Amino acid sequence: MVVLVVLVGGWYYVTYGVLTETRRFLLRPVHKVIEVGFLDGGNRTDALEALWSSTRVAFIGLVIAICIGFSLAILMSQAKFFERAIFPYVVVVQAMPILAIVPLIVFWFGTGQQARVIVCVIISLFPLVANTLHGLQSAEQGMHDLFTLHHASRSVRLRKLMFPAALPFIFTGLRISAGLSVIGAIVGDFFFARGDIGIGQLLRRHANQLNGEELLAAVILSSGLGVTVFLVFGVIRDRAVGRWHEATSGRS
């Protein structure tokens, strides 16, 4: 809260203290940004529509990434052979700069919603796979021994031991991936610049038209979305594992 006041104060200082009258268009004052960006009817409708479009894309991308990520991690947790065979490719996908594959995606999938979702999946896959796999492998040997002693099948071991042990890691991965998926949705939208208008196109349009207030409002909107997603997944994690997990309990 204090930090927020300092930030807003600093912002005003730069606007009125540092910038001269003629250069003030570079950083508009806070109240103007809010007034024009969020309170103006037309801009607000635009912004909300863009927000909805980007959220939807990010969400679909995340769900797909979760499905793929879980399947891969479960497969790799079952045998070292699969881990050695698959994991390097996951690393490769993660290491590819998203800018490098955007043209490829346009080439293969066009510039519609599908293409944007693919960007989200690619960008958010790695933390899901890596964290889930690490989590599945995190149960202590002693616990595995218990299940061995009592003749637990593979699927029982997976459901009652490895999966619950992985939950804290999975939620950590989800939190990171959800944030990345939002970035993916905005970046994809920004580059493809076609179809449903999302936050990316909004940013581009306002930047091109030098609409200072609207541009800043869109920036705030996009980081707001990222932060919201981060917080929401934090709450979900605490709900799910906070009661028993040592490290997450007692934090909000």
Partner 1 sequence: MYRGKSLPTDPVETHSGSLAFEAIGMTFPDGTEALREISFSLGKSEFVTVVGPSGCGKSTLLRIASGLLEPTAGSVDIDRERLGYVFQDATLLPWRTVQGNVELFAELHGIPPDERRLLARETIDLVGLQGFEGHYPKSLSGGMRMRCSLARSLTLKPPVFLFDEPFGAVDEITREHLNDETQQLFQQEGFAGLFITHSISEAVFMSTRVLVMSARPGLIVAEFEVPFDYPRPPELRFDPAFAELCGQVSHELRGYHS
Q: Minimal CA–CA distance to 251: which of 213, 239, 66, 37?
A: 239
Query: Is residue 194 left, alpha or beta, with left meaning phi > 0 and alpha meaning psi from -120 to 50?
Result: beta
Which pair of structure tokens corresponds to residue 136? 């599945």
Compute the least distance from the CB of residue 135 to partner 1, in Å.
Answer: 12
Query: What is the closest distance, in whole angstroms, from the C-beta atom of residue 137 to partner 1 in the complex?
Result: 16
Query: Looking at beta carbons only, is 79 or 146 nearer to partner 1?
Result: 146
Angle at the Cα of 24 (from 23 to 25), degrees rounded to 5? Answer: 90
Nearest to 175 by CA among 240, 246, 237: 237
User: Which helix (H) or strand (E) element contains residue 178?
Assistant: helix 163-192
Q: How far apart (Å, rounded) are the C-alpha atoms in residues 86 and 88? A: 6
Closest approach of Cβ 31 to partner 1, in Å?
49
Which residues in the 26-85 window bind partner 1 by CB under 8 A?
none
DSSP code per residue over 84-110: HHHHHHHHHHHHS-HHHHHHHHHHHHT
Nearer to partner 1, 126 or 169 (CB): 169
Residue 209 or 249 having the CB closest to partner 1: 249
Q: How near is the Cβ of 150 to partner 1 at its closest, in Å?
A: 4
Binder among 167, 207, 219, 220 for partner 1 (CB under 8 A) = 167
Smallest gap, in angstroms, from Cβ of residue 162 to partner 1?
11
Ranges within 145-164 binding partner 1 (CB under 8 A): 145-152, 156, 160-161, 164
For partner 1, the closer CB: 58 or 170:
170
Chain positions 103 to 142 lying near partner 1, rule: CB under 8 A, are 140, 142
Closer residue to partner 1 (CB): 7 or 247 = 247
* 241 sits near partner 1 (criterion: CB under 8 A): yes
Dist CA 90 CA 240 (whole Å): 27
Helices 199-208 and 163-192, packing angle to 10 deg: 30
What is the nearest approach in angstroms of partner 1 to the Cβ of residue 157? 10
Binding site for partner 1 (CB under 8 A): 140, 142-143, 145-152, 156, 160-161, 164-165, 167, 241, 243-246, 249
